[in-house]
Structure 1
């Protein structure tokens, strides 16, 4: 059961939580993929073809996930600032 927020606090919406956790998840996934590439090259997979199998996807995640996570955080920040500005305007 959730508790009601204090009268001066702005409640956290579901979309705020979704954006925050998606951003965090993308960053964690990117870091895991980055270390997978480092470990694969360090264990002697230099001869392996990083252009075949799952490796192109892992490499793409390393390049694409951090900017997407940053964009999600910016969207969350803008939404929060707009919501607070509207709440302060009403008061």
Structure 2
């Protein structure tokens, strides 16, 4: 489940990768939705119907969720390093 490392480093676990990729994916989704709104509004799309309200909601809600995932990742790494340092 973890990648062995040398020099006493803390191994990278699967949950670390999952949290990192999920936060990156959510930020990328937010940027793509923002660009879609800009292109759609420039082309005269009605932002009140169709898929546009969902796209607008994604722009607002995905960055905070990605931030929470990054903070969770940092807290997990700090706790893991503290445990590793206590064991030495």
Q: Is the structural similarity TM-score above 0.5?
A: yes
Give RMSD over aligned pairs.
Answer: 1.5
1:89 pairs with 2:86: yes
1:55 pairs with 2:52: yes
Q: 2:73 aligns with which of 66, 73, 76?
A: 76
How many residues are aligned here?
A: 87
Partner Cα distance (1:31, 1:70) in 2:
14
The corresponding residue for 2:61 is 64
The corresponding residue for 1:8 is 8
Structure with more relative contact order (C-alpha pairs < 8 Å, separation 6 or more): 1
User: After the TM superposition, which residues 13-24 of structure 1 pair with which residues of structure 2 at under 5 Å, given as runs?
Assistant: 13-24=13-24
Gaps of 5+ in 1: none
Dislocated runs of 4+, deviation >4 Å: none
User: Bigger shift: 6-15 or 75-84?
Assistant: 6-15
